[in-house]
Amino acid sequence: MPRLEPRAEASQAMRFAAPLVALLVTAGITACLMFGFGRDPVDGMRVFFVVPLESARGLAEIGLKMTPLLLCALGLALCYRANIWNIGAEGQLLAGSIAATGMALSIGPGNSHVAGLLVVIAGAAGGALWAGLTALLRDRWNANEILVSLMLTYVAQLMVLYLVNGPWRDPAGMNFPVTRMFDAAASVGAIVPPYRLNWGFVVALVAAAFGWVFLFRSRIGYRLQVSGNAPLAARFAGFSEREGIWVSLLICGTLAGLAGAFEVAGPLGQLTAQVSTGYGFAAIIVAWLGRLTPLGCVLASFVMSLIVIGGELSQSRLGLPGAITMVLQGVLLLALLSADTFVNYRIRWR
Amino acid sequence: MFSKRGVIFAAIAAAGLVGLAACGKKEEPVKPAVKAETPKPAPLKIAFAYVGPVGDGGWTFAHDNGRKAAIKEFGDRIQTSFVENVPESADAERVIRDMASQGNKLVFGTTFGYMEPMLKVAGEFKEVRFEHATGFKSADNMRAYDVRAYEGAYVAGVIAGKMTKSNTLGFVASIPIPEVVRNINAFTLGAQSVNPKVKTKVVWVNKWFDPGKEAEAATALINGGADILLQNTDSSAVLQTAEKMGKYAFGWDSDMTAYGPKAHLASSIINWGPYYKKAIKDVLDGTWTVEANWWGMKQGAIDVVSISDVVPAEVKKLAEDKKAEIREGKFSIWTGPLTDNTGKQVLAKDTTGDDKFVASIMFFVKGVEGKVPSGK
């Protein structure tokens, strides 16, 4: 009989093998699903995992979809390493999109590159402010950051609704809950028009590089992780717990706020109630799939984007149901959680 | 370290999965173009972008029935495909552009939020025709279409006004735009036409498709004293909630009898088939032009069907008569004197609101409680 036996030490090899195993399992189940729907599994897998990457347009769209996921996931990975359970990146993203919109609408039509920059900075500040509220409540009154950050997400959602239905509603918009379209100057430009991929993607990649340096090559990153792993040891070493709370939340808020700004000032060009499709929540999965490392987050956000876009293509090309996207995201997550068992356990045959 | 995180993460992930678990129904495969013996013109490729799942039992289901009606009409002269669950976010533009780039010559977008993305894509693909439901912007190759759902809401109101015991109706409303506001008004006016004591309570869910929120709102309305519910959301959750709580409700967009046989009074349905057939015929015949189509009972786009047996025969007749009057153009819902719920007269006696008036209704009529969020 096979038995699970605790390992003496967590397996580093399994920690990095687990996501790959999860991916393989997901790919295998995808193939089975295709077969079950009466499609050629090879052809189906090609539509899912190859076709989205075949054209420059497809690659640009993957990068565009990755941007908010990656930005949020980087911030969340930092928070989780510091043992700060921020699950409100969605709210921070929305706060960023609100602040960016406020800036974009108040800048008059012009032709200055500064305008776009101001919009992005406003977004970052908005996200940081929103995360700062969570930090303040945790730091000052020891409020549980899981609950506070989640609740503040709902507050941010309602603020977006209020603004697009009320003060910021496009006067020429037939009362539909959207703002007017931003002026070109207040937008984030595409890197290679006509593709929609904008400079936000570059910012996200740079943030990932900085994230790596911060986590693994800086004193402050080291302090945060020690506080997260061993709070008592950290206290003994004189590391500040408050520093961990504030630094991780503010960085996460800034990154999520940037993500919000790049959405409204990028592909959307306006604030709507549907600015985010739950990027802040999906980024929790991305951060974990990426093993809470910056490079891992880049890869994981790529995989998640591929699943979404591949799912669309398998609908329009193969006539598969749209639920396949959610099924595969769920399978990926469950497979990863299952595979993670083998980080701390091994199988013994008796 | 990882195991403790793992536990917390597993909990969060489980919660996330519950949120992700929206339903989607199986659909027959898109049939590849049939290769005929004799060379035939290639079928017209048509794509539909849906905001919800085709299995929502309401809005998207109705659109998909329209698509199927078109297939029945045109057979292998057309080849259709669809993508469901396309959010009204930056994703919509990607999906719609992909449809245009895949050789589809006619693209339908079935929710308001696709308007700007469709406009952008329409600018790039001049040879493709774009049809946008419920919007107001057009281009050389893009036009808007909508239906007069308020006609069905009015007839449902007539039935509700006769059937209510508490004289309190409940309305689960989606997004505060004129389309929804006028449906609330029409429902109330219909009820008041047979029962002047009726008032309507409204709860907004700010979503088109969110069965959880829709059910919560329905529960709140019933607890607030409403005994008959109507909704302007996309799922059958309101009817199902009424069924569970022993109250009455209506189906909306599609015939929802099966979702709550006891609670179901009638369904106000949208029949997109006639319009989709017209639009496709326009393209096949080369007669497609930019025009706005706003179809109602007259064109067979709106109907109130499956009136329950608990509705007395004379009420049924009342509803059928009203339908006939609307169909024949003998009756207009928006006829003065009409006052809003602050007492201000919006239509003087014997005046009738034209389409421009109807398209911009952002007030509640007398008898509706509360005010339109951020409306005047």
Partner residue opposite B24 with nearest CB, options A267, A274, A321: A321
Both B172 and B76 in a single domain?
no
Q: Which residues contact A73 (CB under 8 A, 6 or more apart)?
A: A283, A284, A286, A287, A290, A297, A300, A301
The β-bridge partners of A294 are: none
Lowest-pLDDT range of A88-92, A182-186, A326-330, B3-7: B3-7
Both B192 and B326 in a single domain?
yes
Say if A336 falls within a structural domain: no
Q: Is A278's CB within 8 Å of B83's CB?
A: no
How far is the alpha carbon of B40 from chain A, nearest alpha carbon, in Å?
Answer: 22
Say if B369 falls within a structural domain: no
Both B49 and B177 in a single domain?
no
A-chain residue closest to B28, CA distance:
A319
Tokens of B103: 């050789």
Interface subset of A 84-143, CB within 8 angstroms of B = 85, 87
Average pLDDT over residues A199-203: 97
Say if B294 falls within a structural domain: no
What's the pTM value of the predicted model, to 2 decimals? 0.89
Partner residue opposite B20 with nearest CB, options A272, A321, A326: A326
> Which of these three, B147, B163, B193, is where a domain ends?
B147
Q: Is B81's CB within 8 Å of A269's CB?
A: no
Integer CA distances (angstroms), B74 to A4, B39, B44, B282, B293, in order: 61, 18, 10, 12, 21
**pLDDT tens-digit profile of A219-254?**
999 999 998 888 899 989 888 889 999 999 999 999
Q: Is A177's CB within 8 Å of B177's CB?
A: yes
Both B94 and B217 in a single domain?
no
Say if A334 falls within a structural domain: no
Say if A114 falls within a structural domain: yes
Partner residue opposite A316 with nearest CB, options B20, B23, B81: B81
Partner residue opposite B12 with nearest CB, options A10, A87, A330: A87
Say if A122 falls within a structural domain: yes
In a 10 Å sphere around its CB, with 0-12 CB exposed, 13-18 middle and 19+ buried, how is residue A238 labelled? exposed
> Which of these three, B120, B147, B174, is where a domain ends?
B147
Both B218 and B137 in a single domain?
no
Say if B15 falls within a structural domain: no
Say if B371 falls within a structural domain: no
**pLDDT tens-digit profile of A130-158?**
999 999 999 999 999 999 999 999 999 99
Alpha carbon distance A249, A230 (integer Å): 19
Split into its structural domains, chain B has a count of 2
**What b-and-e string marks burial along A152-174, b requiring 16 or more CB atoms within 10 Å of the CB?**
bbeebbeebbebbbeebbbeebb
Say if A320 falls within a structural domain: no
Both B132 and B206 in a single domain?
no
What does B90-111 look like in DSSP terms, one character per residue?
A: THHHHHHHHHHHTT-SEEEE-S
Partner residue opposite A319 with nearest CB, options B5, B81, B136: B81
Q: Residue A85: its chain B contacts at CB < 8 A?
A: 8
Both B108 and B162 in a single domain?
no
Tokens of A216: 């693994």
Query: Does A199 score more than 80 pLDDT?
Result: yes
> Which of these three, B112, B147, B182, is where a domain ends?
B147
Q: Is A312's CB within 8 Å of B86's CB?
A: yes
Q: Which residue range(s) make up the domain with B71?
A: 40-147
**pLDDT tens-digit profile of B281-314?**
999 999 999 998 999 999 999 999 999 999 999 9
Ramachandran angles phi, psi of A225, nearest 5°: -70, -35
Say if A109 falls within a structural domain: yes
- The answer to whether A345 contacts chain B (CB < 8 Å) is no
Q: What is the CATH number of the domain that holds B56?
A: 3.40.50.2300
Say if B28 falls within a structural domain: no
Give the DSSP H or E segment for B230.
Answer: strand B228-231
Say if B214 falls within a structural domain: yes
Q: Which residue range(s) make up the domain with A159?
A: 68-291
Selected residue of B28, B56, B85, B358 to mutate for chain A interface (largest A Cβ count, 10 A): B85
CA A185-A186-A189 angle, 5° bins: 70
CA B185-B191-B196 angle, 5° bins: 105
Average pLDDT over residues A44-63: 94
Interface pTM (ipTM) of the complex? 0.92
Band (B30; pLDDT cuts 50, 70, 90): low
Say if A179 falls within a structural domain: yes
Split into its structural domains, chain A has a count of 1
